[in-house]
Amino acid sequence: MLEHLPALQVVVPLAAAPLIVLLRRPRVAWLLASAAALFAFVAALVLAAEVASTGAISYHLGSWPPPWGIEYRVDALSAFVLVLVAGVGAVVMPYAWRSIPAELPRDQHYLFYALQCLCLAGLLGMTITGDAFNVFVFMEVASLSMYVLIALGRDRRALLAAYQYLILGTIGATFYVIGVGLLYLLTGTLNIADLAQRLPELAGSRPALAALAFITVGVSLKLALFPLHLWLPNAYAYAPSVVTAFLAATATKVSVYVLLRFYFGVFGARQVVESLPVTGILIGLSVVAIVTASLVALWQADFKRLLAYSSVAQIGYITLGIGIANESGLTATVLHLFNHGVTKGALFLLVGGIALRAGGAGFEQLRGLGRAMPLTSLGITLAGLSLIGVPGTAGFISKWYLVLGALQAGQWWLAALVVATSLIAVAYVWRFVEAAYLSAPDERSAPAGEAPRVMLIASWLAVGACFWFGIDTAYTVEGARRAALFMLGGLP
């Protein structure tokens, strides 16, 4: 059975969705979804361990050999992303046990769990597949379920946010598929490894450049690179708490992975980095994203929206690493993908607890929260440290490699910028500390009482991970470094 794990990784969550629709009962739905998520996490861990010891795994769906059939390919990079996505998918399930009944009417529970499973399957599929068109199919599976998940939010504005995301996300997916179509016309193949072999001789031809441009713009829409991030703040702010935490930690990250895959796995570092101004553009946009989104975050009246804008800024750090494009820079990108996923996941999970007790996460509701919800407040403050990048936290490790990469590339001003913009993060995390610990509660603030225990446990697992991966970096740094080497062609 072990050799079929790459297929089961995707198929088990995928099969859970129709089963849930068939059985309908909320408890059964939760049980099935949790079992599928847990299985996916274990499978991802096993696959990652296997890749680390024996090298890339290739699985031929339907026994059609690539490049004719669809190939699932687990390598150093995709294994790392699989662990992140499946891990977050598993952690949010116990949280959903209490959070979903509080936010959704009972007759929608089974639909939520079915969609959650579909979304997880889509994201895992995007990561594991070695076929460029199959990426598009899974992108649609994940995105369509995301639109509906966001629209499930209690706030009526969730509907508008989902619609905005639907329009922009569809444009993004269309651009992506146009790019893939051009590549197919050029080379006659859709298999990523095969594409990578055939493209170098066509490098610089106009359709290849157009394909690169279409894929860059399309995927950038999905990963919310400035200025294509406009769908993100509303989508994160109005979606149900579980959905926000899950999406913030995984959805944009998988899109970054797709971009990395195409830049370094298909077009190749030589073309993208050396002969085209792609990295310059990426650095420029990332810098603007980091600075403006951090500043905008500073002025938000709602903590959930603040975190959403902070996500846009953090995605800037991730793409900055791609722009720097040396070993440390790419290590930083992959690391930050993981570390920021864990950090933002923790923060959004904890904010979900506040929203449950106080009915929202506006700053006026956070006044005196340190006394009303001590564990939640402490968790947010600690995860906030990781968001800033304080030594000892996961956020520090990725920023360290980012600074290192910038210095190695001789761009000291980028290093200075990373450090300077972390100060803006200090400012917006401080806004929470000030409201929670230094303001007296008034009639609008949250009533005393912690979030339900399972929600706290799930959130604190994520907070713990922020510190675990800040202190014991063997797993993440080694994984990210292997992924970076793999992308730069140093690893088979």
Partner 1 sequence: MRREPVLRVVGKLLIPYMLLFALYVQFHGDFGPGGGFQAGVISAAAIIFYALIFGLPAARRLVPDAVVESMVALGALLYLGVGFAGLVLGGNYLDYFVLDRNSVTGQLRGVFWVELGVLITVSGVMLKVFYIFASRRRPD
Q: Kindly list the residues in this chain that would bind partner 1 in the complex (CB under 8 A).
A: 4, 7-8, 11, 14-15, 17-19, 21-22, 59-63
Q: How far is the CB of 310 from partner 1 (least distance, A)?
A: 38
Which residue's CB is nearer to partner 1, number 107 or number 443? 107
Least Å distance, CB 145 to partner 1, is 13
CB of 135 to partner 1, least distance (A): 18
Residues 258, 85: Cα–Cα separation, whole Å = 14
The amino acid sitting at 197 is: Q
Min dist CB 125 to partner 1, Å, is 12
Both structure tokens of 365: 């509701």
Closer to partner 1 by CB, 102 or 137: give it.
137
- Say which residue the tokens 């992140």 belong to: 84
The C-alpha atoms of residue 256 and residue 258 are separated, in whole angstroms, by 5
- Of 32 and 403, nearer to partner 1 (C-beta) is 32
Complex with partner 1: residue 11 or 269, whichever CB lies closer: 11
Smallest gap from Cβ 116 to partner 1, in A, equals 15
Name the minimum Å distance from CB 57 to partner 1.
Answer: 13
Q: Which is nearer to partner 1, 163 or 430 (CB)?
A: 163
131 forms beta bridges with 191
Q: At what angle do helices 5-23 and 76-103 cross, to 10 degrees?
A: 10
DSSP letter (8 states) at residue 393: S
| 60 three-class SS | strand
Query: What pairs with residue 191 in β-bridges?
Result: 131
State which residue, 4 or 25, has the beta carbon closest to partner 1.
4
Maximum pairwise Cα distance, the chain: 69
CB of 60 to partner 1, least distance (A): 6
Least distance CB 73 / partner 1 (angstroms):
14
* Cβ proximity to partner 1, 19 vs 454, nearer residue: 19
Closest CB 12 distance from partner 1, rounded Å: 10
Minimum distance, C-beta of residue 11 to partner 1, in the bound complex (Å):
6
Taking CA 181 as the corner, what is the angle to CA 179 and CA 187, rounded to the nearest 5 degrees?
A: 105
Residue 129, strand partner residues: 72
Instruction: Give, as one character, the DSSP assignment of residue 311.
Output: H
Q: Which is nearer to partner 1, 31 or 488 (CB)?
A: 31
* Beta carbons of 363 and 480 less than 8 angstroms apart: no
- Residue 368 gets the label, from left (phi > 0), alpha (psi -120 to 50) or beta, of left
The residue among 35 and 269 lying less far from partner 1, judged by its C-beta, is: 35
Angle value at C-alpha 183, between 177 and 188, nearest 5 degrees: 115
Q: Which amino acid is at 394?
A: A
Q: Tokens in use for 257?
A: 């992975």
| Residue nearer to partner 1 on the CB measure, 36 or 394 | 36
Between residues 69 and 200, which has the closer beta carbon with respect to partner 1? 69
Q: Least separation, in Å, of the C-beta of 134 and partner 1?
A: 12
The least CB distance from residue 8 to partner 1, in Å, is 8
Q: Which residues pair with 302 in a beta bridge?
A: 362
- Answer for the pair 290, 417: CB distance below 8 angstroms, yes or no: yes
Task: Please say whether the dihedral angle defined by the alpha carbons of residues 312, 45, 142 and 128, taken in this order, is positive or negative.
Answer: positive
Contacts of 122 (CB under 8 A, 6+ apart): 138, 139, 140, 141, 142, 143, 145
Q: Between vectors from CA 412 to CA 408 and to CA 418, what angle results, nearest 5°?
A: 100
DSSP character at residue 265:
I
- Among 13, 18, 2, 21, CA closest to 39: 13
Q: Rounded CA gap, 29 and 16, in Å?
A: 9
Beta carbon nearer to partner 1, 87 or 125: 125
Element (H, E) at 71: strand 71-74
